[in-house]
Chains A and B, each alone.
Chain A
Amino acid sequence: MREWTIDEPRQLTFDPVSLLNVRIVAGRLAVLASDGPPALEVTEVGDRPLLVTHDADGALTVTYEDLTWNNLLNWLRPGHRESVLTLTVPKDCPVNAGVVSASAVVAGFEGRTAVKSVSGEIVLDGVSGEVHADTVSGAVESRSLVGDLSFKSVSGDLTVARGTPRRLKATTVSGRITADLELPPTGHVTLNSVSGEIVVRLPRTVETDVAIRSASGRVSTAFPELGQVVQPGRKSVTGRIGGGMASVSVTTVSADVTLLKGDPS
């Protein structure tokens, strides 16, 4: 195992990395896929040193010695832990990234990617495979994601631009969910929200089952083939578009839901 303690800006390159764990508090984190040698560049480091370990199995860990998710709330106080990190590792490397208030940019991975944040925003670009993003109040903004996608937020907004989910599951309490999706034949989409508005756009030619339910929100759809039912305590729009076996299901309590149709391509 190799270890570094980083208390000033510097660059490191590593032998092959098989797994990346990185956790920081405030500042900016970027994790990019690259076939070059795995590298870490620290351009700013707070008043406490960062600890970097690269163990025999190839797992690379970048964190503060005393940073665990158990004492998370302490980290929300203003402090001097601003760090700016750029990591490049191979695209098939599983990535676990955690930030408290720092922003996190993660791009280009194809294995398993998990990003957690408290209040920092998460930006994902061109990530495929298995993707998890969980946040409390930070926004999750994504583009061109493919594969099994899972998002959770309390009040952070979730946006999926040009997503092609084999599975997409998004759960939020009050964040808005905006999703512009291509659905593969067996795509499975589940969106849940209490009070955050949900807007979904599907291609004009999509083939899918749809079930939208809301207790008190307005439900509108641009697909006239879906039937609307208003019962006491529940509004729902269900039906089948085309003949396929994909499925889209949306549930809210008080939030409005709108299903939109893409322009003819």
Chain B
Amino acid sequence: MSPVFGHGRLRLYLLKLLQESPRHGYEVIRLLQDRFLGVYSPSPGTIYPRLARLEEEGLVTHEVVAGKKVFTLTEAGRAELESRLDELAELEQEISDSVRDIAREVKEDVRETVRSLREELTQMARDVRQNAKQEEHRTEDGFRRARREQRADWRRFKDEWKHGSDHWKREWTREWQREADRWKHEWERIWAAGFTGHGSPDVDARLGRMLAEFVEEVRGSAAGGRVTEETLATAQDALYEAARRIRDALR
């Protein structure tokens, strides 16, 4: 990323960022990271001294707001930026070139990850199957059983095609129907709620843990007690009630 910020260009870009709005140093660093999609991450050790130098030159001033220095462009800074508009345009061109590079890099990177993951998992899958087969063949008995099963498999195979495809067709129809319903529902939800429906991932994970602990506890009791149709019915009622109350709370 260094070619983008050769020859005092970081300085120019800092002026531009401060022209958009007064900002504190941390914000400037975040903005640089975001505009370069995380590829260029200047350290505070790079940015703070630069801002200090711009201030010495009279191009920016700062005031302390809530314990943080907020930098603002001065008239001199604005004039400097005006006089270098050509250079700024050029710089923005280079930045967008580098954004395009990032897009290409992302693509190549993901592809590479995907390719090596596939290779790795294909090899692992082969090993797992090999092991399973060896297990099967370990005893004579296993051997005979395997042969028997293979023959049976063959006979079954033919039936299955018919059975399987009927079954699948039903499943598939049901599946699409469900999908369609879900979509309709989703759309309604999305349009009704706007796009604000997601809580923070952290809180979501905590909810997940809470639910997991709940399940563990109930399963523990179930292991010690007796699960009958009747207790299942009770459990179903209780769960429904709990889900309803939680849903209401989430609204």
Beta-carbon contact of A260 and B110 below 8 Å: no
Ranked nearest first, the 3 interchain pairs of A and B with the lowest CB-CB distance are A30-B103, A35-B34, A185-B212
Beta-carbon contact of A233 and B211 below 8 Å: no
Considering the complex, give the chain B residue whose CB is closest to the CB of A88: B99
Which residues of A sit under 8 angstroms from B156, Cβ to Cβ? 216, 232-233
Residues in chain B within 8 A of chain A (CB atoms):
30-31, 34-35, 37, 93, 96, 99-100, 102-103, 106-107, 109-111, 113-114, 117-118, 121-122, 124-125, 128-129, 132, 149, 156-157, 159-161, 163-165, 167-168, 171, 175, 179, 190, 195, 198, 201, 204-205, 207-209, 211-212, 215-216, 219
Interchain CA distance A88-B165 in the complex, whole Å: 46
Beta-carbon contact of A244 and B201 below 8 Å: no
Name, among A103, A147, A232, the residue most crowded by chain B CB atoms within 10 Å (CB to CB): A232
Interchain CA distance A128-B211 in the complex, whole Å: 22
Beta-carbon contact of A245 and B195 below 8 Å: no
| Least Cβ–Cβ distance between A237 and chain B, in angstroms | 11
Interface residues of A in 206-247 (CB under 8 A from B): 207, 215-216, 218, 220-222, 230, 232-233, 243-246
Q: A222 and B34 in contact (CB under 8 A), knowing A161-B117, A253-B165?
A: no
Considering the complex, give the chain A residue whose CB is closest to the CB of B207: A186
| Least Cβ–Cβ distance between A180 and chain B, in angstroms | 6
Q: A141 and B114 in contact (CB under 8 A), knowing A112-B190, A230-B149, A233-B156?
A: yes
Q: Which of A112, A125, A159, A258 contacts B109 (CB 8 A)?
A: A125
A-B contacts counted at CB < 8 A amount to 158
Interface residues of A in 1-57 (CB under 8 A from B): 11, 30, 32-36, 39, 41, 43
A189 at the interface (CB under 8 A from B): no
Interchain CA distance A143-B118 in the complex, whole Å: 13
Beta-carbon contact of A232 and B159 below 8 Å: yes
Which residues of A sit under 8 angstroms from B102, Cβ to Cβ? 32
A171 at the interface (CB under 8 A from B): yes
Which residues of A sit under 8 angstroms from B179, Cβ to Cβ? 171
Q: Which of A32, A146, A233 contacts B103 (CB 8 A)?
A: A32
Beta-carbon contact of B31 and A199 below 8 Å: no
Q: What are 28 A-B residue pairs whose CB atoms fall within 8 Å in the complex?
A: A11-B93, A30-B106, A33-B37, A41-B100, A103-B107, A108-B37, A124-B110, A125-B106, A130-B198, A161-B114, A166-B204, A171-B175, A184-B205, A185-B209, A186-B207, A215-B160, A215-B168, A216-B160, A216-B161, A216-B164, A220-B129, A233-B159, A233-B163, A233-B164, A244-B212, A244-B216, A260-B125, A260-B128
The interface size of chain A toward B, counting residues with CB under 8 Å, comes to 64
Interface residues of A in 82-108 (CB under 8 A from B): 86, 88, 92, 94, 103, 105, 107-108
Q: A36 and B110 in contact (CB under 8 A), knowing A178-B121, A254-B164, A258-B129?
A: no
Interchain CA distance A135-B156 in the complex, whole Å: 34
Residues in chain A within 8 A of chain B (CB atoms):
11, 30, 32-36, 39, 41, 43, 86, 88, 92, 94, 103, 105, 107-108, 111-112, 123-125, 128-130, 141-143, 146-147, 159, 161-162, 166, 171, 178, 180, 184-186, 192, 194, 199, 201, 207, 215-216, 218, 220-222, 230, 232-233, 243-246, 251, 253-254, 258, 260
Considering the complex, give the chain B residue whose CB is closest to the CB of A194: B168
Beta-carbon contact of A207 and B118 below 8 Å: no
Interchain CA distance A201-B72 in the complex, whole Å: 52
Which residues of A sit under 8 angstroms from B175, Cβ to Cβ? 171, 192
Beta-carbon contact of B100 and A107 below 8 Å: no
Beta-carbon contact of A186 and B171 below 8 Å: no
Q: A253 and B168 in contact (CB under 8 A), knowing A129-B198, A185-B208, A220-B129?
A: yes
Interchain CA distance A148-B209 in the complex, whole Å: 17
| Least Cβ–Cβ distance between A91 and chain B, in angstroms | 8
Q: Which of B106, B129, B198, B215 contacts A123 (CB 8 A)?
A: B106
Q: Which of B113, B124, B167 contacts A215 (CB 8 A)?
A: B167
| Least Cβ–Cβ distance between B23 and chain A, in angstroms | 12
Q: A123 and B165 in contact (CB under 8 A), knowing A30-B100, A220-B129?
A: no
Beta-carbon contact of B201 and A128 below 8 Å: yes
Beta-carbon contact of A34 and B100 below 8 Å: no
Beta-carbon contact of A260 and B99 below 8 Å: no
Interchain CA distance A146-B113 in the complex, whole Å: 17
Beta-carbon contact of A222 and B128 below 8 Å: yes
